[in-house]
Structure 1
Amino acid sequence: MTRPATALIRVAFWVSLFSVVVLSLLPTEQLPPQVSLVWDKAQHAAGFAGLAVLGLTGYPASFKQVCFGLLLTGAFIELAQHLSGWRHGDLVDLFADLVGIVVGTGIWMGAKHLNR
C-alpha cells in the first residue's frame, strides 16, 4: 500500500474512533430512538468491526495493539457511560464490541489473504 493511502486510512481510523467515543457518550436525548435491543448490539458490533478493519489496515504490524486497544476503548466507553449519570454501561455492549473486533479481524485477514 502506498504511503498516501496508508496515511488516509490512518486518518479515517482516528476520526472514526473519535466519532464512536463521542457519540457513545452523548446524552440519550441527543440520539435517535433505539428500535430494538438487537439493533443496539448490531450497531456496537458493526462499529467495532469497521474500526478493526481500519485500524488493522492502517497499522498492520500492530495487530495485538490494535485489537487490544479497541477492546480497552469499548471498556472505557462502558465505564464512562456508567459513571456519566445520563447513560448506562452494559457488559453485553462490551461483548458486542468484542464480537465486532473478531468479525473485523476476520474480514481484514480474509482481504489480506485475497490480495496475495
Structure 2
Amino acid sequence: MFVAMLVLLALSLAPPSPLMSGTGWDKSNHALAFAVLAVLGAWAWPGRALAVLAGLLAYGGLIEVLQSFTAHRFAEWGDLLADGVGLLLGQALVPWLGRGNSP
C-alpha cells in the first residue's frame, strides 16, 4: 500500500506529460487512484475502514497542498472531492473482492 501511495505522490507532483497514461479525465484519474488505495487499505487493515479512509482523504489533501507549491500543478477542491468519491467506491468494492472488512 505504501508503495502505491509513493507512486501516486510521484505522479501527482511530476510535470504533466503526454506519455502519462490515464483515464482521459483528471477527476476520474483521482477517483480511480483513491479507489485502489481504499481497497489496499481495507486489505492491509481490516476492520479499520473509517481510520483508513480518513487517513487517505488527509493524504489526498496533502497532495493538493504540495501541488500548490509546484510550477506545473495546482490544487483543486474538485480533485479532493474526486479522491473522496474514489475512496467510497473502493470501500464499496471491498466485500466483492473477497478480502478485508467494510465499515
TM-score (norm 1): 0.74
Which residue in the other structure is 1:79 paired with? 65
**How big is the alpha-carbon RMSD for the aligned residues of Structure 1 and Structure 2?**
2.3
Give 1:56's aligned residue: 42
Between 69-78 and 102-111, the greater mean CA deviation after superposition: 102-111
Higher helix share: 1
> Runs of 4 or more off by more than 6 Å in structure 1?
none
| Structural mapping, 1:1-116, within 5 Å | 13-29=1-17, 32=20, 39-112=25-98
Structure 1: state its 5+ residue gaps: 1-12
CA distance in 2, matches of 1:35, 1:104: 16
What SS does the aligned partner of 1:60 have?
Answer: coil
Query: Identity percentage over the alignment?
Result: 35
Q: Name the structure, 1 or 2, with higher relative contact order (CA <8 Å, separation 6+).
A: 2
- Distance in structure 2 (CA, Å) of the matches to 1:109 and 1:75: 27
Amino acid at match of 2:11: L
| Number of residue pairs the alignment of both structures matches | 99
Q: Could you say if the C-alpha distance between residues 55 and 81 of structure 1 is closer, same or farther in structure 2, counting changes exceeding 3 Å? A: same
1:5-56 deviation per Cα after TM superposition (whole angstroms, max 9, x unaligned): xxxxxxxx111111001110112258638885xx111111011001100110
Q: CA deviation at 1:85?
A: 2.5
The answer to whether the 8 Å contact 2:22/2:29 transfers is: no
1:109, CA displacement in angstroms?
A: 3.3
| Bigger radius of gyration among the two | 1
